[in-house]
Structure 1
C-alpha cells in the first residue's frame, strides 16, 4: 500500500456496527487504544471488513488539536 497520508495506524477491526447507509468501524491500534470511523456501507462491504481483520486507520487532516481538562 502506498498513500500520501502520514498517519496510517495498523490495527485490527474490533467492531462493525452496520447502519442503513453508513457503518461505524472501530479499530484497535494498540492494546486499549481504539480509533472509530464512520464510512459508507458500500465501502465497508467492498473492503470486506469484519471483526479480526487487519486494516489501517488512515488519518488525513489539516488540523490536529490538543486539549486538557
Structure 2
C-alpha cells in the first residue's frame, strides 16, 4: 500500500519500541525524534499490519482539542 496524500499534519516517523498485546486493544510505543508516542489500536490491526518491535512506522496525530497548562 502506498499513501499518496493524507490530511493529518502532525506526523512522526519512528520505530516501534514496544507492543503490549491485549485481547481486543493493543498499545504501540513508537520512538520518534520528539520522544515516545503511544497509540492504542485494535489487536486485529496489529496483526493485519504485521507490526512488530523494530518496524518503521509513521504515527499520525489528529486532535480536535489541544489543552494547555501553565507551569
TM-score, structure 2 normalization: 0.86
Which stretches in structure 2 are left out of the alignment for 5+ residues? none
Aligned to 2:52: 50
More strand by share: 1
Aligned residues: 68
The alignment yields a C-alpha RMSD, in angstroms, of: 1.3
CA distance in 2, matches of 1:68, 1:19: 35
Aligned to 2:10: 7
SS of 1:42's partner is helix
Which stretches in structure 1 are left out of the alignment for 5+ residues? none
TM-score, structure 1 normalization: 0.88
Aligned to 1:62: 64
